[in-house]
Structure 1
Amino acid sequence: MFFTLNEIVQWIGLTVFEIWINLITITIFSVLLALKIDGVVNSAWWTILAPLFVSDAMNAYFCCIVCIRMNLESSYKASLYRASWSAIFLGLTFVFKFLLCRKLQGDSAIEYSEVFAPLFILLQLIAVRACQLHQ
């Protein structure tokens, strides 16, 4: 009934290390969000979402290292495919977090449908990727 770790790694295109980083930062973000909602912490939304931006930076650094190592091993096609997928994934999640933070701060007058547009695109790309894996 549940997805296995191997299926999640194949569908999302992230390694176990990247998933682990995301889970840790989502946990820290959840604690900060609960403290902000309860009124314990009176910080800006940029501070609350900072762990998620840090995870994007760490994952981007990790992806650069993996890309360089794959190029050194002469697997150019796999390196290009993985680097492009990682760049799209990280770019779309970063844009979503950035737009969400601006919307919550009140800096822009965009609608929530525009904020969530990068996630909708990412979900479509994951669906296409999942269909390609099962052919």
Structure 2
Amino acid sequence: MFFSLRELTLWLGVTILEVFVWLTALLVTLVLVVLRVEGVMPTVSWWVVLSPMFIADALNTYFCVIVLIRMYLDGVLKPAALRALWSFSVLTLGFTFKFLLCRKLMEPSQLEYSAVMSPVFVLLQLILIRACHLN
């Protein structure tokens, strides 16, 4: 029923460090969301509340660039390019979703929910294709 860590990292195309950074940022963000919704920090912007997720994206992008450079220097060109393409597309889609979510939360009437969720749907389709390709 549950996926193992090996399966999860293989299907998502990320390392354990990236998963740890995402989960840590998610925990901090959830605490900030609860504090914002419950009225403990009512004046704090949604951009500040979701800033740990944006910081996690920046750290994971930095990590992916380092891995790309190391793989390139080791002479593993094709896997380096494929890994970089996959990682940057996942990070870009995640960043786009978070950006659109912040815009929707700041100005509720401006964007439709389907527009906000569209990067997630594209990401799920990419993960589905990757999972089918690996099996």
* Bin of the TM-score, shorter chain as denominator length: over 0.9
TM-score scaled to structure 1, two decimals?
A: 0.97
Name structure 2 gaps, 5 residues minimum.
none
Q: In structure 1, what residue type is equivalent to 2:87?
A: S
Residues 102 and 108 of structure 1 are in contact (CA less than 8 Å); yes or no, is this contact kept in structure 2? Answer: no
Name the residue aligned to 1:128: 129
Name the residue aligned to 2:74: 73
Aligned-pair distance for 1:2? Answer: 1.2
SS where residue 2 of structure 2 aligns? coil
Aligned-pair distance for 1:59? Answer: 0.2
Percent of residue pairs bearing the same amino acid type? 49
Q: Which of structure 1's runs of 4+ aligned residues deviate more than 6 A?
A: none
1:53-89 deviation per Cα after TM superposition (whole angstroms, max 9, x unaligned): 0000000000000000000000000000000001100
Aligned-pair distance for 1:107? Answer: 7.4
Alignment of 1:35 with 2:8, yes or no, is no
In 2, the alpha carbon distance for the partners of 1:64 and 1:108 equals 37
Name the residue aligned to 1:49: 50
Name the residue aligned to 1:60: 61
TM-score scaled to structure 2, two decimals?
A: 0.97
Number of matched pairs: 134
1:77-114 deviation per Cα after TM superposition (whole angstroms, max 9, x unaligned): 00000000011000000000000000100076110110
Q: In structure 1, what residue type is equivalent to 2:20?
A: W
